[in-house]
Amino acid sequence: MSEGYPLELRKAIRVVEETREERLKKKYRRLTLEERDELVKKWHPDYRPDTKRELKVGPSRGAIVYNEVADLLEAWPIADPSKIDLSTIDYDVDILIIGGGGAAASAALWSLYSGIEPDNILIATKLRFGDANTVKAQGGIQAADRPVDSPVRHYLDTIGGGHFANKPELVRALVMDAPFIIKWLEDLGMMFDKTGEGEMIEYSGGGASRRRLHCARDYTGLEIMRVIRDEVLNKGINILEFSPAIELLTDPETGAVSGAVLWNLETSEYIIVRSKVTILATGGFGRLHLAGFPTTNHYGATADGIVLAYRVGANLRDLDSAQYHPTGVAYPEAILGELITEKCRSLGAQLVNVNGEQFIYELEPRDVVASAIIRECAEGRGVLTPTGVCGVWLDLPMIDMIRGPGTIKKNLPAMYRQFKRHGIDITEEPVLTYPTLHYQNGGIEINVYAQVLTPQGTPIPGLLAAGEVTGGVHGKNRLMGNSLLDILVFGRRAGMTAARIVKETSSKPKISFKHLEKYTAELEKINVPKTRKAPIILPDYRGNPDYRGKNPYLKILEITY
């Protein structure tokens, strides 16, 4: 067992305690749009000149993306077409869903509700069904259902938060479907936090003008995943766990996506799947550790989906921006980079620097708050841990002072537990935080039917996508609580579209690696080193458990033939 804060940090905490009474009475003022802009441009990693570069190959050639993403898009396939036999099909289905998070489960259920037999749906996922970012979501899910709120407000909040770069029709779908999605979850038996009379208990999230975060303690994503996973299993939908997709397959005549090659992680065998429709629901890219940041993401968040989609011609958008959650764990080192939910700030906890001063209104949009914390540390107003990590304080004990004793334990049990395991009692002590890589704002461009689009705006036949792997819904910055909503809204739309396409398609497609010919020719031209391969499937932390100072993604999982 750890014994909590070391002496030097305990001393630093005293300053926080001394200023608490005063601060309880003071709200930090909100910044103007211009001030926000200036802060973000000066300090946010999105604006650092060394973090990004221009893509040299593929349909979105010329787009600016993070270096780590470019490395994977300018990389050779791990599947070697000359060594994979496509003549034997292992699974021949109507709908293949790649991924095992909330978007995948939602897509599966809505395919089924739309008339597809469970036997004709296959979910293939990397680790276990539910090992995903979805189960890690703590704060909540947005939906404008209170009388003082409206989808119109939700729309405005969302595009304002996204720096007005969102795709309008996707935002409309998001906010208009939202109350329906909450109702669906409730009907499936999700335990939302409610008052005795059934009033949903709703909180405000950063950048939202109304309280509209629905939650289930601080296990909201876990509860959503548990419920819809249980329902998928009840319906008898087929699932392959430990079977990541490593390449899509295409019909050589029509160019339509017609299945995928999976790789059995346990036995190192290939699994060939043919499908009339393929839905990519592979989530985000946190484990690429962009700009050297730690991450809140699950182990399998390695951007595989964008790599696969890009090779069949998908347009990628907004991958020049990433969301760094303002409050990642900076101490203890054992859980470095893990999330301290924004709900702490919704409940009243302030951010405080080494001098015990507030330096930002705590519910500004995430990129703004993250930038302010990075500034405090860079200008010497941060707190240093014994191993040299810098952070600022999140003054959690304020929550119980504002909202009454017991609030933390009741509303933030996961947070309380996480720190207690390391000897820190968050009802009495503040915690040290620093931004952590959290969310893939951009990704594969889709339309309102979840169809994947080329740069020309035409759908790629046979390919749909939903969830964090897509771009456009959130523009350049996602609001808290909009992603859990996104995955269910667009997972559902993908499921319904897939069912429609299946009903319209009578013949079985052919499968091939044809799409790789053009792509690899481009790679050849820019001399991509043969050792650089993608997707990487899992990060590699061997010998380097805290990833710092070394790229964790340089080695792909070795495939044995």
Partner 1 sequence: MSTEKKTTKTRTVRIYFMGKAYDVPQGLTIMKALEYIGYRFIRGIGCRGGFCGACAVAYRLAGEYKLRTGLACQTTVEDGMYITLLPYSPMEKPRYNLEEMRGEAGYILKIFPEIARCVSCNSCTKACPQELEVMDAIQAILRNDIKRAADLIFDCISCGLCSLRCPAEIRHVYVFQLVRRLAGKYLLPKAKHLEERIKEIESGKFDAEIEKLMKASIDELKKLYMERDIEKA
CB closer to partner 1 out of 62 and 147? 147
Shortest distance in whole angstroms from residue 483 CB to ligand FAD: 4
| Residues of span 279-308 touching ligand FAD by CB under 6 A | 281-283, 296-297, 300-301, 304
Determine if 123 is a binding residue for partner 1 (CB under 8 A): no
| Residues of span 423-462 touching partner 1 by CB under 8 A | 434
> Residue 263: which of 22, 503, 533 has the closest Cα?
533
* Binds ligand FAD (CB under 6 A): choice among 250, 275, 483, 497: 483
| Residues of span 305-334 touching partner 1 by CB under 8 A | 332-334
Determine if 362 is a binding residue for ligand FAD (CB under 6 A): no
How far is Cα 193 from Cα 325, in angstroms, rounded to an integer?
A: 24
Question: What is the contact mask toward ligand FAD in residues 178 to 207, using x (rule: CB under 6 A)?
Answer: ------------------------------
CB closer to ligand FAD out of 416 and 439? 439
Residue 67 interacting entry, from partner 1, ligand FAD, none, C-beta within 5 to 8 Å by type: none
CB closer to partner 1 out of 223 and 251? 223
Stretch that binds ligand FAD, among 89-97, 101-109, 425-433, 507-515 (CB under 6 A): 101-109
CB closer to ligand FAD out of 353 and 483? 483
Q: Take residue 8 and report the two structure tokens written for it.
A: 């030097």
Active site residue 542: no
CB closer to partner 1 out of 70 and 200? 200
CB atoms within 10 A of CB 243: 25
Decide: helix, strand or coil at residue 257.
strand
Determine if 549 is a binding residue for partner 1 (CB under 8 A): yes
**229 CB contacts (<8 Å, ≥6 apart)?**
105, 129, 130
Residue 222 interacting entry, from partner 1, ligand FAD, none, C-beta within 5 to 8 Å by type: partner 1
Catalytic hit among 317, 345, 474, 493? 345
| Residues of span 313-342 touching ligand FAD by CB under 6 A | 339
How far is Cα 95 from Cα 498, in angstroms, rounded to an integer?
A: 7
CB closer to ligand FAD out of 100 and 356? 100
Question: What is the contact mask toward partner 1 in residues 213 to 232, using x (rule: CB under 8 A)?
Answer: ---xx-x-xxx--xx--x--
* Binds partner 1 (CB under 8 A): choice among 21, 50, 85, 197: 197
Determine if 481 is a binding residue for ligand FAD (CB under 6 A): yes
Determine if 102 is a binding residue for ligand FAD (CB under 6 A): yes
Determine if 126 is a binding residue for ligand FAD (CB under 6 A): yes
Q: Which residue has the tokens 């001399």?
A: 527
Dihedrals phi, psi of 373, to nearest 5 degrees? -70, -40
Active site residue 226: no
Asked if 391 and 377 count as a contact pair (C-beta separation under 8 A), the reply is: yes
| Residues of span 48-87 touching partner 1 by CB under 8 A | none
Beta bridge partners of 272: 261
Q: Take residue 549 and report the two structure tokens written for it.
A: 């100072």
How far is Cα 284 from Cα 240, in angstroms, rounded to an integer?
A: 20
Measured over the CA atoms of residue 502, residue 505, residue 509 and residue 514, the dihedral's sign is negative
How far is Cα 262 from Cα 240, in angstroms, rounded to an integer?
A: 10
CA 477 to chain centre: 12
Q: How many CA atoms lie within 13 A of 360 on its CB side?
A: 27
Determine if 69 is a binding residue for ligand FAD (CB under 6 A): no
Q: Take residue 555 and report the two structure tokens written for it.
A: 């080695």
DSSP-derived letter for residue 510 is P
CB atoms within 10 A of CB 223: 19
CB closer to ligand FAD out of 206 and 356? 206
CB closer to ligand FAD out of 161 and 356? 161
Shortest distance in whole angstroms from residue 253 CB to ligand FAD: 26
Determine if 365 is a binding residue for partner 1 (CB under 8 A): no
CB closer to partner 1 out of 125 and 278? 125
Number of H helices, E strands in the chain: 15, 23
* Binds partner 1 (CB under 8 A): choice among 26, 54, 233, 458: 233
How far is Cα 417 from Cα 219, in angstroms, rounded to an integer?
A: 12
Task: List helix spans (H) across 58-136.
Answer: 67-73, 102-113
How far is Cα 364 from Cα 366, in angstroms, rounded to an integer?
A: 6
Q: Take residue 255 and report the two structure tokens written for it.
A: 């160019």
For 249, the enclosing helix (H) or strand (E) is strand 245-250
Catalytic hit among 36, 212, 325, 493? 325
Taking phi first (over 0 means left), then psi (-120 to 50 degrees means alpha), and beta for anything else, what does residue 184 get?
alpha
How far is Cα 94 from Cα 112, in angstroms, rounded to an integer?
A: 11
| Residues of span 333-362 touching partner 1 by CB under 8 A | 333-335, 338-339, 346, 348
| Residues of span 366-395 touching ligand FAD by CB under 6 A | none
Active site (catalytic) residues: 325, 345
Binding site for ligand FAD (CB under 6 A): 98-104, 124-127, 131-134, 136-141, 220-221, 244-245, 281-283, 296-297, 300-301, 304, 339, 439, 467-469, 480-484, 487, 535
